[in-house]
Amino acid sequence: MDTQNFNNIIDFNQSISNKNKPRDFFLDDIEDAEVFYPSRMNSNLPKDNKPETINLVQAFSLDETKENLAENNINVSPFILANTKEIELEHLKNDCIIPVFSKDNEKTIAHQEFIDVVINAVKKAFPHQIITKPEIRVSHQIKGRTPDAIHLNVKDLLEHQKTIYYERMAFIIRIPGIKDVVNGNELSLTLGGVRSYNLENLYNKKSFEKFKFFIGFQNKVCCNLCVSTDGFLSEIKVTSIQELYSKVLEIIKNYNTELHLMEMKELTQDFISEHQFAQLIGRSRLYQHLDKAEKSQIPILNFNDSHINLMAKDYYEDKNFCRSEDGRINLWNLFNLFTQANKSSYIDTFLDRNLNAFEFTKGIQKTLNGNENYHWFLS
């Protein structure tokens, strides 16, 4: 299978001065190149550009095991840590019960159904690409037991008498054939989502269910995720699997791959000094204690003291994204210090903070180039 690589497809800095809209930046500047283009990746969608709903079935996905990934020199460290553990899709399907809405006993959309929906959407959008098996991380295990085991001691419970489900679940699926290199780091196109039952009112009747979904890139050096605004929806509200499929496919269709890559590459061109980094760390810690009126005048930073402490540590110690010999650090490395620290976030806040890291770093870049919106953090 041909590997689609975005290296050298566009001199973005030259193009951007002549274009007005993001989608004007791209294919008209390319000759004889085979590239991935957002508006074409869904060319098999209906002509009205609305994703159709389907009778969903289990998708076929290439089972790229950890051994395969290791052979291909792909880092297999988790994309999120915190209090999560890795599980297999089969465990969700075979060993976990499905929560219901208590007032009408209607079932929720199960974690495995969400994953299947995304797999089907990926196969629809990228019919000629190989995809990896889902990497699934879960937390907040909810245990129970069957009615016949109500009087048994824990040590006497049989396996079939135990019930389990996970309150929170995050997963990613990689498309290794669509990749690019930023600052020497290889990135591969990655999609995934988050489901948190704690955001649902399971004590009521069935209503809209909430999901988070993203399409972006994963840095193979550290497995940090790179999420942009148009590739992420923090709250997809649906009542059915078919509706969820349609909305996921719509996000994939609207994601502007080239613009996201351009913005990440531009981060490599700007640097902050050691003094400015120290100012940023100090101001970020002060930010948590500002009153609401002052905070409303400053751009949002969704990282807490524990994240900021990790960034300060990694500024000196991280082998991939630490400072240079003169103490400076480029904004691409700063962004990765944010996303590396974000791995300690809980599942339900993980993707939102990842997007905030990107938007915040772009804000620092604008400040270095004359915009004063983020000046408070460097002053």
Spatial CB neighbours of 183, under 8 Å, sequence gap ≥ 6 = 265, 268, 330, 332, 333
* C-alpha closest to that of 356 among 307, 281, 309, 302: 302
Question: What is the C-alpha separation between 101 and 119, in angstroms, rounded?
Answer: 26
Alpha helices in 131-266 (DSSP H): 241-254, 257-266
The pLDDT assigned to 14 comes to: 38
The pLDDT assigned to 76 comes to: 67
Q: What is the dihedral of CA 167, 341, 334, 272, to 10 degrees?
A: 130
CA distances from 48 to 4, 52, 230 (A): 27, 10, 21
Question: What is the C-alpha separation between 127 and 28, in angstroms, rounded?
Answer: 24
For 300, the token pair is 């949002």
Q: What is the dihedral of CA 262, 267, 268, 272, to 10 degrees?
A: 170
Kindly tell me the sign of the dihedral angle through the C-alpha atoms of 245, 246, 249, 255: negative
Residue pair 264/336 in contact by the 8 Å Cβ criterion: no
Q: What is the pTM of this model?
A: 0.81
For 176, the token pair is 């290794």
Render pLDDT for 136-173 as a digit per residue (tens, 0 to 9): 999 999 999 888 888 999 989 898 888 999 999 999 99
For 184, the token pair is 């020497």
Render pLDDT for 180-230 as a digit per residue (tens, 0 to 9): 999 999 999 999 999 999 999 998 999 999 999 999 999 999 999 999 999
Residue 47, SS3 per DSSP:
coil
Question: What is the C-alpha separation between 151 and 145, in angstroms, rounded?
Answer: 10
Residues of the chain with pLDDT under 70: 1-76
Q: Which amino acid is at 103?
A: K
Question: What is the C-alpha separation between 338 and 224, in angstroms, rounded?
Answer: 9
For 56, the token pair is 């969903």
The pLDDT assigned to 208 comes to: 95
